[in-house]
Each structure stands twice: as C-alpha cells, then as structure tokens.
Structure 1
Amino acid sequence: MTSPDPLAVVCALSGVLGLLIGSFLNVVVHRVPRGESVVSPPSACPSCGHHVRARDNVPVLSWLVLHGRCRDCREPISRRYLLVELLTGVVFALVTWRVGITAALPAYLYLAAIAVALALIDLDVRRLPDAIVLPSYPVALVLLAAASAGSGDWGALARALAGAAALFLLYATLWFAHPRGMGLGDVKLAGVLGLYLGWWGWDALAVGGFAAFLLGGAVSLPLLLVGRAGRKSSIPFGPCMLVAALAALFCAAPLAGWYLDLVGLGAAV
C-alpha cells in the first residue's frame, strides 16, 4: 500500500483550515468596515437576534444541515456565508499546492486570507480598511523574514523590500497625478503586495503589477459599454490588485518565459 503524498495531505488540511478561516472572514467582512470588534459580541441572527450556537457555526456543514435557515426564526441565511467559506478553502488549498511545504507557506496563507477579506470589503463599501492593510506590513515582514531564514535566501527578503518600495511608489505617483482615479487604500495595499510579489521573484512583481491594471481594464470596459458605469464611476480596484497578485504566483514564470521568447531574449537569459 503506497503512502499518501505529503503535499496532497497538507493541501487537504489547508483547505479545511481555509474553511474555518472563511467562517471568521465572514465576521471580518461584516464588522471591520463598521468599526466593530470581530471578537465580541458573539455572532447572532440578524433577523431574530439569537446567538449562533457552536454546533451551528461549523463551516459549510452547519449551513447545509440547517438548509440555509436560522434554527430559531427560520429566516434564510445568505448563501454568501457558505460561498466565502468555500472560496477561502479552495484558495488556501491552491496556495499550499503552489508554495509547497516550505517556510514560506504561512506567509502566503496569510496573504490568501487578507485577499479574500479585502476584496469582499472593497466590493461592498469601496474601501480597503487600514485596520487590515496597515497591520499586514509588519505581519508580512515577520513571516517573510522567517521564510528567508528557513530557506537561507536572504536575497528574497531584500527583493521583497525593493518590491514593496517599487509598487508603493508606482501607485503613490498614480494617485498623486490623478487622485480621483485611484483610492489611497490602493496605494497602501500596493506596498503589502509588493512585499509578497518581490519575495516570490522579479517576474512575479512585474506580472502581478501589470496584470492588476489589465484586469481592471477588462472589468471596467464591459461596464462602460453596457452603461453600468460612467467615466466618473467609482469601480473598486482592490480586488483586481489582489487577484492579480495571487495569479502571479502561479503564472508569472511561464508568462515571463513566453515574453522573453517572443522578443528573442529567451536563450540569452
């Protein structure tokens, strides 16, 4: 009997952890924009006010057992809670598969968690809260420093700092030139993403930085064409930045290789 693949086991465990984190992120997404505590009071049904019982707070399973309704008043529970838990679980599993069983895994799982929370908050309220973005700087630095210590690659940490500075300055320049076209929250988030992309590699920094604007255009153009948005409409850019950063972890190397081959520099690099 063959032993299970260790990476597959860790991916499965990360997926389960993602479900649990996703349940907490539902609270974060709801309360942080309102300036409320994420630890008290306990979660309650918005319709009848009854506190959610521990057995009804099991990710995914509780929603399915209750058929998506409150145990007390039978009012529907939004499918969004279920979808956020599932999304976080899938993202955690995919990030684990990509990063592998390495010292960098905790750092990139943290990125996955804040990516889900910030993307949803920005879609809801057109804002990237400082309460999540600013603490992510020291947390990311500590986790990425631990990853460099574990791998012995201190150059990656230096590259992360350079990436943070480069992406922050790029967004700050764009914000200064056209404040209405970009939120200050996007500028603050850019530095965090620059840390992660820079640590991963220069190709990830370039692809992740460029892809955010490409994705933003791909989202905005159809809305403009169908009249759902105007030239002065506020379209959240944070989700584009976060999706592009996560996508760069998976596709930056092949995309960079394809581009170098296209311009005839592949063999020279």
Structure 2
Amino acid sequence: MPTILAAAAREGNWLLLAALAAGLVVFAVCAVRLTVMDLREHRLPNPWTGALAAGGGFTLGLGCLVDDVGWSRFWSMLGGGAVYLALMLLLHLINRTGMGMGDVKLAGGLGLYAGWLGWDHLLAAIVLGFMAGGLVALALVVTRRATGSTHLPFGPAMLAGTAVALLL
C-alpha cells in the first residue's frame, strides 16, 4: 500500500489518495476496537466486523473508480474477501470450538483489503495471521500462561497479519 500511496501522490491522483487514506483510517479504527474487544471478551461483534467490511468495500471501491487498473483491483478485492471468508468458514465447520463465526466474518473484511492489493498480499495476510496466532500461542504455552486447551482470541492475529501485509 505505501508504494501505491506514493505513486498516487506523485501522479497527483488525489482522489485515489483520499480513498485509500479513508480506507486505512476505517481499517485502523476498526482494528483497534476489534482487537480490544476480542482480547477482553473473546468476541468480534457484527457492527464492527461489518463496519470494517463495508468501510473497506466502499472506500477501496471508490479507489477502483479512479485507479488505472481499477477493474482488476475491484475483482481482486471481491475475490480476496470471498476466499479469506471461505477459508475461515471451512476451518470453523471443521472445528467449531477452535474458530468462531466472528473470525469468519472478520476474514471477509480483511480479505477485501488484502485482495485489493493482489493475490500475493492476500496470501501474505493469511499466512502472517496464522503465524502471529501460532507464535502468541506458543509463547503463552512456554510461559505457562496457557495450555493446549486454552481458548485464545484469533482476531488480533488476523488483524496484525493483514496490517503487515498492507505495509508490504
């Protein structure tokens, strides 16, 4: 995303710059709120996962209208949301106690953001999210703050993975 923002500024595409900046603000606000709620209450409320998806879809969709490769970004964005959501839904159906529906819904919104940048960013967001979640779980088990049966919130790891992918 930084390279696209820099290119938009260099080319004077202020509409694209504004759309992306607004999208990043939506992402940041929702990410902070969702992280706090998931860490405290182990839930990702629909109004916030919905705001992330709707805000991202709207702002990034506007960005597609003023970008040179807008239609390919648009379809990539929609595909990214669908793929990440489908993957997490599959994991939820395989093990309902391991993955909650909040994580599934969050994945749809995160997939929009990562997918807008391309399939490589989507893959990075997914892999980085699972790596972050695994490292946190490992650290908690090693320090004896968790066991193999402890339920850990996965939303913050998903959000962190996507945030890093957006910075690539």
Assess same fold via TM > 0.5. Answer: yes
Higher helix share: 2
Match of 2:51 in 1: 135
What displacement does 1:98 show?
7.5
Report the AA paired with residue 121 of structure 1. M
Scaled by the length of structure 1, the TM-score of the pair is 0.55
Query: How far apart are residue 226 of structure 1 and its match?
Result: 2.3
Matched, 1:105 2:11: no
Q: What corresponds to 2:31 in structure 1?
A: 115
User: SS state of the match for residue 135, structure 2?
Assistant: helix
Contact 2:88/2:107 (CA < 8 Å) preserved in 1?
yes
Mapping 1:53-202, distance limit 5 Å: 99-100=5-6, 101=9, 102=17, 103-152=19-68, 153-202=70-119
The yes-or-no answer on 1:248 pairing with 2:143 is no
Instruction: Report the CA distance between 1:202 and its aligned residue.
Output: 1.4
SS in 1 for 2:144: coil
Gaps spanning 5+ residues in structure 2: where? Answer: 10-16
Pair 97,124 (structure 1): closer, same or farther in 2 beyond 3 Å: farther
Question: CA offsets per residue over residues 92-126 of structure 1, 9 Å max, x none?
Answer: xxx87983451322112211111111111111111
Preserved CA contact (<8 Å) 1:104 1:147: yes
What is the root-mean-square deviation in Å for CA atoms of aligned residues? 1.7
Whether the 8 Å contact between 1:129 and 1:185 is mirrored in structure 2 is yes
Larger RCO (CA within 8 A; separation ≥ 6): 2
Do structure 1's residue 213 and structure 2's residue 130 form an aligned pair?
Answer: yes
Letter in 2 for 1:239: P
How far did residue 137 of structure 1 move? 2.6
| Matched-pair identity in % | 34
Contact 1:156-1:201 within 8 A present in 2 as well: yes
| Higher alpha-carbon Rg | 1
2:53 touches 2:110 (CA, 8 Å); kept in 1? no
Q: Are 2:92 and 2:100, in contact at CA under 8 Å, matched by a contact in 1?
A: yes
Are the counterparts in 1 of residues 64 and 74 from structure 2 also a CA contact under 8 Å? yes
